[in-house]
Structure 1
Amino acid sequence: MTQIINSLAEVSADYDVLFCDLWGCLHNGVAAYPAAVAALQAFRAQGGKVVLLTNAPRPWKYVEAQLDRMEVPKDAWDVIVSSGDAAQDAMFAGAVGRKVWAIAMPKDEGFFADVPPEWHDAPAIERVPLDEAEGIVCTGLFDDATETPEDYRSRLMLAKERGMKLLCANPDVIVDLGETRLYCAGALAEFYEDLGGTSLYFGKPHPPIYDLARRKLGLGDDARILAVGDGIATDIPGAAGEGIDALFVSGGLAFDQFGADVESPDQAKLNEWLAMRNENPRYSIGRLR
């Protein structure tokens, strides 16, 4: 049974490193949560390291720019590791071919245009129409404000018939932008699999992003890591797969499932909800603080 805590400080002394999710934990896509920022600052002040581990489909420097716009202070984190970083590495390695049909919004241009130094000498990735492509790279829907995966059925059916693989740069299925719920790249990747296609994932809960985070901090096998996140299909099973403890933020995506007080989840409702999903994070908290 998960243990509900009131603040990170109750358990922080037991850990050297936090793998902390962003959307739903540190911010809501519009503004940062001051209490969450303070919790990360306090963890670092006592000697801990904070990795901001996000399924954002962009290289880390674009995530940093977003945090700067939200005025998240630099002393709240050590490094940023994104699904975009891990997926970009796979794309330039040719995981789905070198001619790709890109499903992406303009804000994700950096995923394609900013070639990491280690891939400068590799053959270029060319974005082409679907009927000329060897594979698909998806960072998000073309218009996540109006579209759903169903809008892509005919094109994805054609891709499946041609045996094309889909590289998913963000395994998240949904995200809340303020009060608005939007579909992410993970929703299209799952839909493609439902149609019989093959999708490749590099963000949470899959190993590549955790491996990259460990390398960036130079972590050994003995590092005491706590994963913090609100994604019951990403953050929590990802932590379990890595053999590390998890702190589930119940006031994120599932904020309306555990009683009227988002800050104080009902233990019985939380236990039942987690059991239905076969997940058992070591700790839970209403909002990160």
Structure 2
Amino acid sequence: MSFKIISGLSGVAPNYDAFILDLWGVVHNGHHPYPGVLDCMDRLREGGKPIILLSNAPRTNGYVVDFLENMSVARERYDHILTSGDITREVLASRDHPFLNNTGTAFYQIGAARDKGLEDGLDYQKVSSIGDADFLICTGLVDDQTETPEIYREILQDALKHDLPMLCANPDLTVMRGATSHYCAGAIAALYEELGGRVELFGKPYPEVYRQAMEKLQVSEPSRILAIGDSMRTDIKGANGCGIDSVLVSGGIHADEWGLKDGQLPTAAQIDEITRVHQFSPTYVMGHMVWQGN
């Protein structure tokens, strides 16, 4: 499979009309932006080329904008933002998903208190008992600092007894916060599926989020867009599926498995192996998202 290792985006960005950026692992590490990222974002926008931040965050975009502002990623540095929380909320609002047909409006949420906005202003009720719920919404772990998905096995088995479907607002299995990996909602959803539960996931790598992203960017030709992400499973798979060129940032979620630190580049053999496992390839690979490498 073909890919090119690059040190910065300056040599390839002029070939594209718009950019899709992942957040966690690309723009920031959960605490602060990566070195050089803000300058790179400014350079990408030169000439009026739009940027959309495409995140599997289980919150609606307004909460993510505030989160970014607090770590100095100002709103003027990007044009649009779209989250898996936004997609989940649209499904709740339209009620046209099979999981919501002919069912009630009571849901049991698995996730942290910070996961907000999904049902705001909609005719749904959050309940505290599985037995009172019509369906599940999974946004993550209550405490992803200390918990693992296995802690939720008993809750999921109870939900399975009631045949409750699950809407998962974050397909990610893990995320990097600082230098530490933490489980995400996708890991709980995977366990529920393993137990026999019905699950629907929203966000990357699924086509709907890319369709909406292209609509917001006002670019109809996928080959004119460059997507930058740190996960083969979500970012690169999603871009490949839509015919969008991609950059795999090695300093994010795959850094641990490759034994990398501080945005080091993997070897060509390491990239060959991960593309062999996934059966698709990024267009480019770089350490962190910077404009001009050393």
State the secondary structure of the residue aligned to 1:181: strand
**Are 1:214 and 2:214 counterparts?**
yes
**Corresponding position of 1:60:** 61
* Range with greater deviation from structure 2 (264-273 or 53-62): 264-273
2:117 and 2:17 mapped to 1: Cα distance? 32
Letter in 1 for 2:18: V
**Corresponding position of 1:44:** 45
Contact in 1 for aligned 2:249/2:286 (Cα 8 Å) = yes
1:225-271 CA-partner distances (Å, limit 9, x unpaired): 11110011100110111111111111111113446563332222222
Tell me how far 1:70 sits from its aligned partner. 0.4
1:260 and 1:66 mapped to 2: Cα distance? 27
Letter in 2 for 1:248: L
1:222 and 1:276 mapped to 2: Cα distance? 25
The 5-angstrom pairing of residues 185-264 of structure 1 reads 185-221=185-221, 224-258=224-258, 262-264=263-265
1:92 and 1:131 mapped to 2: Cα distance? 23
Contact in 2 for aligned 1:86/1:212 (Cα 8 Å) = no
Tell me how far 1:221 sits from its aligned partner. 3.6
**Are 1:111 and 2:118 counterparts?**
yes
**Corresponding position of 2:163:** 163
**Are 1:283 and 2:289 counterparts?**
no
**Corresponding position of 2:173:** 173
**Corresponding position of 2:17:** 16
State the secondary structure of the residue aligned to 1:111: coil
Letter in 2 for 1:107: R
**Corresponding position of 1:29:** 30
1:208 and 1:66 mapped to 2: Cα distance? 24
**Are 1:268 and 2:275 counterparts?**
no
Tell me how far 1:53 sits from its aligned partner. 0.4
What's the RMSD between the two structures over aligned residues?
1.7
1:47-92 CA-partner distances (Å, limit 9, x unpaired): 3111000000111111111110001133421111111100111123
* Range with greater deviation from structure 2 (231-240 or 31-40): 31-40
* Range with greater deviation from structure 2 (161-170 or 185-194): 161-170
Contact in 1 for aligned 2:131/2:162 (Cα 8 Å) = no
2:221 and 2:175 mapped to 1: Cα distance? 32
Letter in 2 for 1:104: G
Tell me how far 1:134 sits from its aligned partner. 1.1
1:159 and 1:259 mapped to 2: Cα distance? 39
Letter in 2 for 1:87: T
1:192 and 1:215 mapped to 2: Cα distance? 33
**Corresponding position of 1:80:** 81
Letter in 2 for 1:125: Y
Query: Which runs of no fewer than 5 residues in structure 2 stay unpaired?
Result: none
Contact in 2 for aligned 1:55/1:203 (Cα 8 Å) = yes
Letter in 2 for 1:197: G
Alignment coverage as a number of residue pairs: 281
* Range with greater deviation from structure 2 (103-112 or 81-90): 103-112
Letter in 2 for 1:206: Y
Query: Which runs of no fewer than 5 residues in structure 1 stay unpaired?
Result: none
1:39 and 1:200 mapped to 2: Cα distance? 35
Tell me how far 1:212 sits from its aligned partner. 2.0
Q: What TM-score does the superposition give when structure 1 sets the normalisation length?
A: 0.91
Percentage of matched positions with identical amino acids: 39
1:277 and 1:210 mapped to 2: Cα distance? 20
Tell me how far 1:194 sits from its aligned partner. 0.8
The match for 2:109 among 92, 99, 102 is 102
